[in-house]
Structure 1
Amino acid sequence: MKVLVTGASGFVGRRVVADLLHAGHEVVAASRHGHEVGGARGLALNVTDPAATRRGLEAERPQAVVHLVGIIAPQGAQTFERVHVEGTRNVLEAARPLGARYLHMSALGADPESRSRYSSSKARAEALVKASGLPFTLFRPSLIFGPGDDFFGRVLKNLVSAAPVVPVIGDGRFPFRPVWVGDVAAAFTQALERPQTVGRTFELVGPTVYSFSDLLKLELQALGLRKTLVRIPLWAMNLAVPAMQLLPRPPITPDQYAMLLEGNTADPGPATRAFDLEMVSLEALLPRLLRPGTHETTAAEEGA
């Protein structure tokens, strides 16, 4: 099957491309810069440009589209609305005349009423997918860990490394269920061959629930650090997070803060019954992932 992957140069995109190639698919690796990804032919494609997106898909005529493009934080004209919502609209409109199988990367916690602009924009994109008329499958992953991830490799690492003590937001009990990037990629690849997944939404989570405090302790342990955890009242964090945005590279954005407060967990049952997943645990890989040189710096979640 010929599969076009948007955001192919991103963290999850590279793994999805590798899995699709291994499964024997012909893969077109679409990204803004059009670089080859893991042996897959590159295609320069800016999904926020409707005409360019239409031309790209018309020229390639893929049988399936895997849409992974997304951003972690807005940068200039690259807003959540433009990338997540309008970008999705453009890809759907270009894929519709082809009748392409459509796989979409959303996010656990996607909710139009969320305080996080990231999460609310993901929900609006989901609504477009469901109304598209295409044979779609939606995926909502939790925090994704793996080589090159932003949360464990940068955000949490900076949080536990920057000061003599480690700040804990509120009571630190917010629940999370991180998922391995290999399991996320496997779900996307297997969905192409499983027609029973059409029209369904799958929440992709790992085997273990952790509190935010648990994640901080695991990060410290993996880095070989011994520090005291100090609780920071929510009222203080509510003041500190906006002030952090004055820094050249804030350790946490307002949207990331809002998502932390909401937690990020779900039932793994439906996805594990639909797909063959390894369900790799965070403890098994985190020490290796945090070794110097393991991570690649990425400005966007999925190469928008």
Structure 2
Amino acid sequence: MRVFVVGGTGFVGRHLVDRLLQGGHTPIVLSRSSRSLPQGAVFVRGDITREVPDLKGAEAAIYLAGVIRERGQSFRAVHVEGVKNLLLAMREAGVERLLHMSALGARKGTGSRYYETKAEGEELVRQSGLKWTIFRPSLIFGPGDEFFGKILRGLVCAPLPFLPLIGDGRFPFRPVYVGDVAEAFALALERGLFGAYDLVGPKEYTFRELLALVMRTVGRKKPFLPIPLPLMDLLVPLLSPFPFAPITRDQYVMLKEGNTAPPSPELMALLPRPCELAEVLPGYLRC
């Protein structure tokens, strides 16, 4: 199958492009650069936030594009305007099959621009009239990830005698492995799975447990220093605009809410043996 992929050079996209190739498919990857594309993938130069691409010859499309921080591209441009452009391109080319990556917790009224624009993009897909599948992943882990490899690693490896803990650290999460995310997309495409599904890992952790696991993984041992939420509520908006800020306002809002859901029967059928966080972290996390 010839599959048009938006976001195919990103964190999840690289794994999915490899999986599509292994499955005998031809990924057609829209990107501003052909760097890191594997042999067999077809490169199409473009920017989905600025133009309507040509999908002639494609049989399906996958939208993975997303940003965690607004650095050069806004949440709205990537999560909403890009989706609009892809949907228009699909209508023009007669492509009816779409798989879309949203986010667990995406909905209006959260106070998080990330969640709210993800929800807006998801609604565009739901109302498109296409044959669609939406996956809503929790925290995605794996080599090159943002949350574990940068944010938590930065906290644990910082030259401080203590480890800052936001509030009591009881916010729940259910991290999912990037390879399992790619596998879920590929299998949904191959098996004709339609609908919207939360995409989560096999085990739930509190934020405090995640920090403790990262400490054990990198061989550090520090006492926790809880920072009251009212103080964090004041500090984060002040520091968030600066590039050195360890956490943005949006990430803080999402962190306090947690990010978890039970695995659905459909997900367990797709991924009967999902990878567990503690098994994967030692392979790529170092101070």
TM-score (ref. length: structure 2): 0.95
| Per-residue deviation, residues 236-291 of structure 1 (Å, max 9, x unmatched) | 11122123235433211111100001100011123434413431110001111203
**1:28 Cα deviation from its structure 2 partner:** 1.2
2:233 corresponds to which residue? 238
Separation in 2, partners of 1:69, 1:9? 9
Query: What aligned pairs does 1:205-244 form with structure 2 within 5 A after superposition?
Result: 205-244=200-239
1:26 corresponds to which residue? 26
Separation in 1, partners of 2:266, 2:75? 27
| Per-residue deviation, residues 151-210 of structure 1 (Å, max 9, x unmatched) | 100011112222221111111100000000111000100011222x22x10111001010
Separation in 2, partners of 1:290, 1:273? 27
**1:44 Cα deviation from its structure 2 partner:** 1.2
Percent identity for Structure 1 against Structure 2: 49
Residues 35 and 43, structure 1, Cα contact 8 Å, conserved in 2: no
Corresponding residue to 1:129 among 104, 125, 128? 125
Does residue 7 of the first structure (1) align with residue 44 of the second (2)?
Answer: no
Separation in 2, partners of 1:3, 1:144? 23
Residues 209 and 265, structure 1, Cα contact 8 Å, conserved in 2: yes
Does residue 287 of the first structure (1) align with residue 282 of the second (2)?
Answer: yes
Q: Secondary structure at 2:130's aligned position in 1? A: coil
Residues 61 and 99, structure 2, Cα contact 8 Å, conserved in 1: yes
Separation in 1, partners of 2:178, 2:98? 20
C-alpha RMSD of the superposition: 1.5
Residues 29 and 42, structure 1, Cα contact 8 Å, conserved in 2: yes
| Per-residue deviation, residues 111-151 of structure 1 (Å, max 9, x unmatched) | 11111110111000010000111111000000000111011
1:268 corresponds to which residue? 263
Does residue 168 of the first structure (1) align with residue 165 of the second (2)?
Answer: yes
1:184 corresponds to which residue? 181
Residues 180 and 279, structure 1, Cα contact 8 Å, conserved in 2: yes
Separation in 2, partners of 1:118, 1:277? 30
Separation in 2, partners of 1:32, 1:277? 36
Q: Secondary structure at 2:15's aligned position in 1? A: helix
Separation in 1, partners of 2:284, 2:264? 27
CA, structure 1 residues 36+234, in 2 after alignment: closer, same or farther (shift >3 Å)? closer
Q: Secondary structure at 1:57's aligned position in 2? A: coil
Separation in 2, partners of 1:38, 1:138? 26
CA, structure 1 residues 261+66, in 2 after alignment: closer, same or farther (shift >3 Å)? same
What code does the residue aligned with 1:103 have? L
**1:30 Cα deviation from its structure 2 partner:** 1.7
> How many residues of Structure 1 are paired with residues of Structure 2 in the alignment?
284
Q: Secondary structure at 1:279's aligned position in 2? A: coil
| Per-residue deviation, residues 8-65 of structure 1 (Å, max 9, x unmatched) | 1101000000001000001112212243512212221201113xx23x324xx31011
Does residue 45 of the first structure (1) align with residue 40 of the second (2)?
Answer: no
Separation in 1, partners of 2:268, 2:177? 17
**1:2 Cα deviation from its structure 2 partner:** 0.3
Residues 162 and 224, structure 2, Cα contact 8 Å, conserved in 1: yes
Residues 15 and 182, structure 2, Cα contact 8 Å, conserved in 1: yes
Structure 1 outlier segments of 4+, above 3 Å: none
What code does the residue aligned with 2:283 have? R
